[in-house]
Amino acid sequence: MPAKSTTPLSAGVIRTDLPMADGRTIRYYDIGTVDRTAADQRPIEAQPGIGELRFDPLVNEWVAVASHRQGRVFLPPKELCPLCPTRGDLASEIPDSSYQVVVFDNRSPSFTEPSADWALTEHPDLFTPDIDAAGKCEVICYTDQHEGSFGELPLSQIRMVMEAWRDRTREISQLPYISYVFPFENRGEEVGVTLNHPHGQVYAYPFIPPRATKMMEAAVLHHAKTGRTLMEDVIAREVKDEVRIIAQNNHWIAFVPYAARYPFEIHVAPKAHFADLAEISDEVADAFPSIAKEVLLRLDGVFGESMAYIAAWHQAPVREGRDLMRVHWQITSVRRAPGKLKYLAGSESAMGAFIMDLEPEQSAAQMRAVQL
């Protein structure tokens, strides 16, 4: 079992790693002098086995089968929340009685550390047998307070979460079996959230996921045509059109994209080129909390109620396309009006063809009109 270790990061954040009872690792991110020592008191439990990757020959994509996840915790009452700190007798996932930000290995991971000789099948096809679902799945708790949301956190707390994202991206990218690191948040029962405590996740895939592959192909094609990076020209268009911009500061811009697919969709991008979160400078990281908060409060303000969303960090793959792909944050919400959701039905789901009921300019105007 690995012993306790501490690592200094940017912005005065110290990371402390401790082992959990079942062999997983928990990482505390703290500002100030906090000594993390609380031991995981739960009985030692076997970790679930590794899932499998099956190759779907109809579209040439890997599908992960993680049947051990079927029994995972589903919307427990607040007093049984596994993401709250441990107070009293009920041991949660976090042994300490308080925390600032923590990241721990997911108890029901879709992707897991493989054996040393694991390798992704090259040129897979219909005849490729299934292989172990190598990868990493981590949970990131944004605060030890059970109520609230990412957008409602103090700016200093959002900055600490950003530091944790950067740290996880940097460290996980070193693993030889990882091709793509994906920090994200699902928020709201409408998108299937099974725990209400403010938290996100990091999935690290052993392949470049299908949508990232498509984004890379588009970026390569655009560069071949124009000599420029795609995101540079996307941002230039949004600046020129102006009507879809939601917020900006010296380092970041937030806009509803010209070809949005969801009733409320916001892309938040650094103005300069960074391939991933590990690459962005401290100055750019420092400028993120204010725009993140503004954007999420505007989103919640549209209907005066908290919006379900998926907030996804799109990054360059670990070892490819790093000069052409830029890190950015895509927030998409399926709520199109109070009480009405957009569903991904036949056209979107089976054909991948999106139909938008709301003009991007209209949703941008609604979000800009919100009084903060």
Positions 14 through 53 that interact with its own copies (CB under 8 A): none
73 binds its own copies (CB under 8 A): no
Rounded to the nearest whole angstrom, what is the least distance from the CB of residue 200 to its own copies in the complex? 9
CA-nearest of 336, 264, 253 to 292 is 253
110 binds its own copies (CB under 8 A): yes
196 binds its own copies (CB under 8 A): no
Instruction: Identify any residues that bridge with 139 across adjacent strands, giving them in sequence order.
Output: 104, 201
The amino acid that residue 73 corresponds to is V
Name the H helices within 254-332. 282-286, 288-301
From candidates 64, 91, 243, 245, binder to its own copies by CB under 8 A: 64
Question: What is the pairing mode between strands 61-65 and 136-141?
Answer: unpaired
Residue whose structure tokens are 């990482």: 27
257, 260, 263, 264: CA torsion to nearest 10: -30
Q: 113 or 190: whose CB is closer to its own copies?
A: 190
Give the span between the Cα atoms of 322 and 207, in whole angstroms.
Answer: 16
Rounded to the nearest whole angstrom, what is the least distance from the CB of residue 336 to its own copies in the complex? 7
12 binds its own copies (CB under 8 A): no
Rounded to the nearest whole angstrom, what is the least distance from the CB of residue 192 to its own copies in the complex? 3
Spatial contact of 200 and 142, defined as CB atoms under 8 Å apart: yes
Give the span between the Cα atoms of 14 and 8, in whole angstroms.
Answer: 5
Crossing angle for the helix pair 360-368 and 288-301, nearest 10 degrees? 100
Q: 18 or 162: whose CB is closer to its own copies?
A: 162
The amino acid that residue 331 corresponds to is I
Residue whose structure tokens are 């989103």: 299
Active site residue 197: no
Q: 287 or 334: whose CB is closer to its own copies?
A: 334
Within 315-344, the residues that bind its own copies by CB under 8 A are: 330, 332, 336-337, 340-344
Within 249-268, the residues that bind its own copies by CB under 8 A are: 257-261
Q: Which stretch binds its own copies (CB under 8 A): 5-13, 138-146, 168-176, 352-360?
A: 352-360
Give the span between the Cα atoms of 337 and 68, in whole angstroms.
Answer: 36
From candidates 99, 177, 203, 274, binder to its own copies by CB under 8 A: 203
139 binds its own copies (CB under 8 A): no
Q: 58 or 116: whose CB is closer to its own copies?
A: 58
Q: 6 or 67: whose CB is closer to its own copies?
A: 67
Positions annotated as catalytic residues are: 199
